[in-house]
Amino acid sequence: MKQIILILLVLIAACNQTNILKQEDGNTESSEVKGNEIMETSKEVEKQIPKIKLNLEELEKFEKATFAGGCFWCMEGPFEKMQGVKEVLSGYSGGTETDATYREVSAGRTEHVEAVQIYYDNSVVSYSELVEVYWKQINPTDDLGQFADKGTQYRAKIFYRNDEEKEIAQISKLLLGKSGEFSKPIVTEILPYTNFFPAEEYHQDYYLKNYEDYSSYRRGSGRERFLVDHWEEDYEMPTDEEIKEKLTSLQFKVTQNEGTEQPFDNEYWDNKKEGIYVDIVSGEPLFSSIDKFKSGTGWPSFTKPLVPENILKVEDSTLGMKRVEVKSKHANSHLGHVFDDGPNPTGLRYCLNSASMKFIAKEDLKKEGYGEFEYLFK
């Protein structure tokens, strides 16, 4: 599935470039030749070096942890949100080969697995904490791969660098097996670290750069449903009376009865402060000021959610038109609608009601229980 998505992205990029070149020089024939050259160049994309936040010399100052959990697209985000984590790179690890490319590894022509390498400050976050987060991203009972991705290149593995890490991983695996969370044996391998080769640039931060494709893949692969079923605490929905006591009449009308507040006369339409927006009923994190933009509509607008898993999209045919309603996953609050007329990088406009959300300023994140998102504003 990942290979199909990547091929489509390359084709789209090449077509777009061809159109741009045609507009620039007015010569269809020469532009098509350039477009073909771009397609040829795309074949070399696997040789690109990933862009990282810190240079390699700076990264070497930090501790490293290497985990394989199937598709590396799905493994970067959970660790990058952790306090003390400085960088997470997607790549290939564990094989005897002295190099690796996506084409070779994904086809199963090497002994490598898709993996992530985490650079972290051990004075802030410990190796054992990383291991605990790791377990909550995978199916540790699957020895054929992970979710929709099957093959030895997608098997889950923990690569330790010393005896201490080995012991931490082994004890953690033993405790997980005894926890009763899974009815099948825990089969994730714990192996000595040998190597790590960073993946191509287009794979790095894929969950951020191609959020819609990533979200569809994560859902379609079965990973999201599995993790929710095993690790997510059930949200206890309050009664209507409890919600009425908590909310203003406008907030109740908007969230519970699909109401709409007035444009240019709501709390957050022009809010320029840094922070995140959470559901007014459940408190589940929804959007970030980083993705907020001035749409001119009079309602707060965003290019993408902060936590895609907390957003539901429902077809809405009210008012004689077809739209896509946006609701929060746990509280089922009506948030607004999403349209395809937004800016890059997603081309989407999440047009929301201020009344459905509560803003948490960046300086209050830890105090309000959202410390995991402080990394966004550093």
Q: Which of 6, 14, 71, 158 is catalytic?
A: 71
Which of the following is catalytic: 351, 355, 357, 365?
351
15: annotated active-site residue: no
Q: What is the identity of the amino acid at 36?
A: N
Active site residue 74: no
Q: What are phi and psi of 112, to 5 degrees?
A: -75, 160
Q: Is beta strand 189-192 parallel, antiparallel or unpaired with respect to 349-352?
A: unpaired
CA angle 67, 69, 72 (to 5 degrees): 90
CA 272 to chain centre: 24
Per DSSP bridges, beta strands 301-302 and 85-93 are: unpaired
Catalytic residues: 71, 351
